[in-house]
Chain A
Amino acid sequence: MENKQETPLKKVCIICAKGTIEDVYATLVLGNGAVMEGIEAKLFFTFFGLDAITKKQMNKLHTATVGNPAMRMPGGLPFPSIMGMLPGVEAGVSAMMKKEMDKLDIPPVDEFLDMITAGGGEIYACKLAMDMFKLEKEDLSEHVKDVLTVGDFYGMCGGENTQIIFT
């Protein structure tokens, strides 16, 4: 007989390797959502995802207006890639996205990290990517708990009902 008994999720380890608005917010929403449900959350930022926890960059994230086939004009009209190349378009589109998010009570990145850590979520940075981008711990948000190697990270992902999510 099929046994369909499920046990609740206890921990999520979420990896963010990209620095666009949508990639970073996917990570932040998943992380905060977990904490809200009483699920332990560990967020690991690497490569371009480091922008999300770098003080200088975290509130200046953009969304790509070139090479993004799902990008449309407000109202649904097509958004020609060549338009996305024009100076200022990416910044304008990104500002508009942030405005729409704010209407839904989605906070800016620094405040979102505040919320996640207030609920007990933990934020980590990838050592290898930090070395590559010549970043120091001081460049990162004070919410970053530690700089980890991949082995350290895996070491935190043990335990029953733990999932690793790569956004």
Chain B
Amino acid sequence: MATKTFAGVSIEVSAEGYMMDASQWTKEIGTEIAKEEGIELTDKHFELIDFIRNKVNNGETLTIRGIGKSGIVDIKGFYQLFPGAPLKKATKISGVPKPASCI
């Protein structure tokens, strides 16, 4: 575990950089984590972040397929918004734990 400062707030993160306490998350913090990942957040990103945070709060499992059915983006769009490893990057930026999902 480590501590990092995002948007002037001291945040505890896991070894891989995921926030330990999702309730600390703010848009400003998300924006700074995204910058570290090389992503400039747009309204579309925030819409998706809202969706992800809601899902996780409800205890649901996140999958790429589920995001493709969110109505916000299709899967191709999701890969474009968070290039490389979309589910991992999107959850990290959303301040939720790393997803334990194989699909």
Known: A29-B102, A105-B61. A115 touches B68 (CB 8 A): yes
Indicate whether A84 reaches chain B with its CB closer than 8 angstroms.
no
B76 touches A36 (CB 8 A): no
Q: Does B59 contact A (CB under 8 A)?
A: no
Q: Contact at A105–B65, with CB atoms within 8 Å?
A: yes
> Does A92 belong to the interface (CB within 8 Å)?
no
Q: In the complex, what residues of A have CB within 8 A of residue B19's CB?
A: none
Please give, as numbers and ranges, the residues of chain B lying within 8 Å of A104 by CB-CB distance: 103
A29→B64 CA distance, assembly (Å):
12
Give A108 Cβ to nearest chain B Cβ, in Å.
Answer: 11
Residue from B66, B68, B85 in contact with A36 in the complex, judged by beta carbons closer than 8 Å: B85
Q: Is the CB of B79 within 8 A of A37?
A: no
Q: Which residues of the partner chain B approach A38 to less than 8 Å between Cβ atoms?
A: 83-85
A119's nearest neighbour on chain B, judged by CB, is B79
The reply to whether the CB of B53 lies closer than 8 angstroms to some CB of chain A is no
Interface size class of B (residues with CB under 8 A): 10 to 19
- What residues of chain B lie closer than 8 Å to A9, measured between beta carbons? none
Q: How many A-B residue pairs have CB under 8 A?
A: 42
- In the assembled complex, A23 has its CB within 8 A of some CB on chain B: no
Q: Let me know if B79 and A29 touch, CB within 8 A.
A: no
Nearest residue, chain B, Cβ from A117: B76
Contact B103 A118 (CB under 8 A): no
B87 located at the interface, meaning its Cβ lies under 8 Å from any Cβ of chain A in the complex: yes
Q: Mark A103-138, 1 if CB is under 8 A from B, else 0.
A: 011110001001100111000000000000000000
Q: Which residues of A contact B85 (CB under 8 A)?
A: 36-38
Q: Smallest Cβ distance from B42 to chain A, in angstroms?
A: 20
Instruction: Report if B75 contacts A (CB, 8 A).
Output: yes
Hey, what's the 0/1 contact readout for B59-97 against A, CB within 8 Å counting as 1? Answer: 001011110100000111001000111111000000000
Report the bound CA distance from A115 to B75 in whole Å: 7
Given A36-B87, A38-B85, A119-B76, 6 additional A-B pairs, CB 8 A: A36-B64, A105-B66, A106-B103, A115-B65, A118-B74, A119-B75
